[in-house]
Amino acid sequence: MTSKVNYDEQQLQNLSTKVGKKMLEVQDLHVTFKTYGGEVHAVRGVTFDLYEGETLAIVGESGCGKSVTSNAIMGLIPQPPGKISNGRIFFKGKDLTKLNKNALRKVQGVDISMIFQDPMTALNPTLTVGEQLTDGLRTHKSISKIEANKKAIEILNLVGIPNPEERLKQYPHQFSGGMRQRIVIAIALICEPLLLIADEPTTALDVTIQAQILELFEEIQEKTGVSIILITHDLGVVAKIADRIAVMYAGKIIEIGMKREIFYNPTHPYTKGLLNSVPRLDLLEEELEPIEGTPPDLFAPPKGCAFAARCPFAMEVCDYVQPETTYLTTSHYTDCWLQDERAKGLFSE
Amino acid sequence: MTNIHKVEVKDEWFKPKEKGLEKVETVVRPSLSYWADAWRRLQKNKLAMIGLFFLIFLGVAAILIPMLSPHSVTGTDLPNQNKAPSMQHWFGTDELGRDVFTRTWYGARISLFVGLMAAIIDVTIGIIYGGISGYKGGKVDLVMMRIIEILYGLPHLLVVILLLVVMEPSLTTIIVALTITGWVGMARIVRGQVLQIKNYEFVTASKSFGAGTSRIIRKNLLPNTMGPIIVQMTLTVPSAIFSEAFLSFLGLGIQAPYASWGVMANDALPVILSGDWWRLFFPALFIAITMFAFNVLGDGLQDALDPKLRG
Amino acid sequence: MVKYIIQRFLMMIVTILIIATLTFFLMHAIPGSPLDSDRTTNPAIQENLEKFYKLDQPLSSQYVSYLKSIITFDFGPSIKKPNETVNSLISRGFPISFELGMVTILVAVISGVILGTLAALRHNGVVDYLAMTFAVVGISLPNFILATLVIKVFAGELGWFPAATWQSPMHMVLPTLALATGPMAIIARLTRASMLEVLTQDYIKMAKAKGLKPWKIIIRYALRNAMMPVVTIMGTMLASILTGTFVIEKIFAIPGMGKYFVESINNRDYPVIMGTTVFYSTFLVVMLFLVDIVYGILDPRIKLHKKEGDAS
């Protein structure tokens, strides 16, 4: 994967001031799954906030719990085997984890909606695009079929699908991958949600289409002011559209900050490793360094820092105790013992 | 990110960890070969294992019991007609005084023989036909698949009935009739598998090393198509057993005085309501249990051999 | 779609032609064939045979006139019953067999789909376990054994239902039960497996994320897609139900076509066997053709077939 990471200082400054009101608060979220092999602790205490109109990227390796986190917010954790064992998710003042299924359905698709990774499988092959666009709308809002279709055409125009009137009557297989992802986005947007969760929205697409879809996200955010949580492992995508970045590892957020802070001043060794493993055009002299080893087994999460086994700067304390959160700036926090006073000077960089 | 520390964080813990100790990645799971792994998974499936052991027992007993039994399969004993199960005749006797126990086990021989032969012949023809069709591709495949499509459209059991009406009924003719149309399903499966696998990179790699066609088929394609073939086989056997019983029941099966389960069930039909329950019950029970054993074994194998589910 | 239908239609014609031809030559291959001109039966029958099979003419013209008669839906005479033809047997027996078959299919499909869906929705639960145990047992019990079992229990011991013939809805219960259990079990297993697969699909997750009601997701999104594999086996299912009617009608003494067919097998009434086989095969092949078209209507992707493409 060759991604280009570009910085625009001025743009970053602007973005950091664009932040509006807090709309989503995730507090100490724990999600576990019962399997034959035992209980998997997929998410182990995730806390973050989301503001109106911002784009938060959650990055990490596959299996780090980023998709589970987004599914938990969306109320899509299959129960059983899954369970939100602890924590709260406040959305517009309501705790989503406390809502019953009926109440949750009034949030799903209306206030929060979701975009899935693979547009080839996210659309039902036996229903027309029009039917799939309008059925959410007609479930949540009492409007006629004609009005719903009008709205569908409007939204297809917004996501850049030509001839929407005719396209409504077609089936998903009659569209290309990029077009299908636009339809998936249209479905997510049709009820005018406040929050859009995009789970790897460009991973399954060609590189050229990826760029188009990312531009579409920016355009939509500009027009509708929707907040976006972007789940990805692709730092190129993050660099392009994120305002803030949360780095997840083994079910925890280990570092979170503004895009500028994470890219220019990464503090957690994992974040550094992640950035060093991506080819960057602006740092030609540096060699790519893959992170050695594999993530820990979440059947039995380690007692201390989950990254300790792979960390080039691991100390004994890392194996015994989980690190506390250190506030580097008002927006930049990290969970790492290296930030402790007692660790200063141990490693010369 | 909130942490409640139960442990006191000691100052002396703040020193670099000794390298090299934990860096060694221990292999968590011993890497098993495909077949060993499949076998391990199959063993976990209790029902499938019960089915497997029952079938092994059935096979051994079907060979031994008719040999060791004091009663003969065909020998009539008119004074002892329609006797209920007793110490002497464990499963009772039929209208000619023949021992139902011995005949049932003899029937097991017939059924298993028909089932296994049909499966073996189906697999052989199916692998050759499907393998060639899938591997050659292009026009050869097109023509071969057209033929298959037409054969597949023929009503299988009707053709079998037609053939058996024309041919002298015997064990051989039953097997021939069953396999004449039976291999088509297997050929389709093999072809599908070969088509899928021949485009995989490891096959391309073999080709680039100059491996010949037969070597590619033997070394690469066959081992990787075996899973679905074995599963299909475990489904072919019970369906052949069912067909044999069905045809015998229609009077087209193995001829008197020899017994198959279908023949015994057919003979017992007139007395079903009169109370001689054992004559129908035992062959019926054996058919049902054997079909059940093959079905659960087939299910188990399907789960065990499906690489997609490995883990 | 039109191209597809034409293609399938041609295949259907070819298949019927093959069966008719096979039947014709097998008939002539029988040692001591009833068509050998001096096989003495009853003179009236001999006359019928000669008239129908044009026995005085060379084989090739016999074949042609045989094909002609098949096209005109004339399946030939009987050699055991002077006044019977296959056509008269069909017109008497087929409606009854058809009724039995249709009731069986309805019962098998409806209960199989419901059972399979419930099992999938309660995956690894008690319902799933019970349904699948029932299904494996149902598949393992050949219909003729099940038939004798239900007669013994429900007609003999309990006396709830009549044991034979085909007169009232009460008479239909046991034969239908015996004939439908196997197909129902197969449909239940297939529905469960395909439902489980469909339920993991992203489009189901997406439907949930839209906040649709659960029953709507199951019916509109899951069931319709899960039904695809079930539709594809309907052809084989029909064939097995049809052959099942032979034994079921024999056991329950139902005066349908299957019973006549078995009778003709038992007393070696070759022309009836052949004629009936051709009729049955034609019926099945036509049904298979219809099933394929229904599949094409249900699955919009079939229509595609190269053309149409997409815009971007």
pLDDT digits (tens, 9 = 90+) for B257-283: 778 888 887 777 777 666 677 777 888
Q: Do A171 and C301 touch (CB under 8 A)?
A: yes
Q: For residues B163, B167, B173 and B177, what is the CA-based torsion angle, rounded to 10 degrees?
A: -10
Nearest CB to B16 within list A47, A321, A346: A346
Kindly report the nearest CA distance between residue A313 and chain B, in angstroms.
7
Number of other residues whose CB lies within 10 A of the CB of residue A292: 12
Q: What is the pTM of this model?
A: 0.78
Query: How high is the ipTM of this complex?
Result: 0.79
* CA nearest neighbour of A122 among A72, A183, A58: A183
For B75, what's the count of Cα atoms within 13 Å in the CB-facing half-sphere? Answer: 10
pLDDT interval class at B7 (50, 70, 90): low
The domain ranges of chain C are 89-255
- Rounded Cα–Cα distance for residues B255 and B257 (Å): 6
Q: Which of C108, C293, C126, C120 is nearest to C217 (CA)?
A: C120
Set of chain C residues whose Cβ sits within 8 Å of the Cβ of B299 = 136
CA of A104, closest CA in chain C: separation in Å?
8
Identify any residues that bridge with A229 across adjacent strands, giving them in sequence order: A56, A197
Chain mean pLDDT for chain C:
81
Domain boundaries, chain A: 109-242
Q: Chain A, 152-171: which have a CB under 8 Å from a chain C CB?
A: 162-163, 167, 171
A151 Cβ neighbours under 8 A, 6+ residues apart: A134, A137, A143, A190
Kindly tell me the burial class for residue B96, based on how many C-beta atoms sit within 10 Å of its own C-beta (0-12, 13-18, 19 or more).
middle
pLDDT digits (tens, 9 = 90+) for C131-141: 888 888 888 88
Blockwise average pLDDT, block size 10, chain A, 349 residues: 40 51 85 78 86 87 83 82 83 81 81 83 84 82 82 83 84 84 84 85 78 83 86 82 88 87 86 77 60 74 80 80 82 83 69
What was the pLDDT predicted at C112? 93
Neighbours of chain C (3+ CB pairs under 8 A): A, B
- Give me the CATH code for the C89-255 domain, please: 1.10.3720.10
Which site among A173, A194, A196, A200 would you substitute to test the C interface, given the most C Cβ atoms closer than 10 Å to its Cβ? A173
Instruction: Determine the average pLDDT of the residues in C226-233.
Output: 84
- In chain B, the N- to C-terminal Cα span, in Å, equals 32
Q: Among all residues of chain A, which has the CA nearest to that of B26?
A: A293
> Is B281 at the interface with chain C, CB within 8 A?
no
Residues A271/A336, Cβ–Cβ less than 8 Å: no
CB proximity under 8 Å: B 116-175 to C: 149-150, 153-159, 161-163, 165-166
Structural domain A109-242, CATH architecture:
3-Layer(aba) Sandwich (3.40)
User: Cα distance from C140 to chain B (closest Cα, Å)?
Assistant: 5
For C2, the enclosing helix (H) or strand (E) is helix C2-29
Please indicate whether, in this complex, the C-beta atoms of C144 and B296 are within 8 angstroms of each other. no
Whether residue C210 and residue A173 make contact (CB cut-off 8 A), yes or no, is: no
Residues of chain C positioned with their CB less than 8 A from the CB of B115 = none
Say whether C136 and B295 touch across the interface (CB within 8 A).
Answer: yes
Q: Is A327 on the interface with B (CB under 8 A)?
A: no
Write down the pLDDT at residue C58. Answer: 76
Q: pLDDT: is C4 or C189 the higher one?
A: C189
The two three-digit tokens of residue B11, written as one number: 């100052």
User: Could you report the per-residue pLDDT of B15-52, keeping only the tens digit for each?
Assistant: 776 654 444 444 444 555 667 777 888 888 888 899 99
Rounded CA-CA distance A178/A208 in Å is 10
> Residue B306: pLDDT band by 50, 70, 90 thresholds?
low
CB-CB under 8 Å, A123 with C203: yes
C-alpha pair distances (Å), C76 with each of A58, B268, C64: 77, 34, 14
Per the CB < 8 A criterion, the answer to whether A264 and A304 are in contact is no
| Residues of A in Cβ contact (< 8 Å) with C207 | 124
Yes or no, beta carbons of B165 and C270 under 8 Å apart? yes
Digit-coded pLDDT (tens) for B83-101: 677 767 677 777 776 777 8
- 173-212 of C, contacting A, C-beta below 8 A: 201-203, 205-212
For the CA atoms of C290, C291, C294, C295, the dihedral, rounded to the nearest 10 degrees, stands at -140
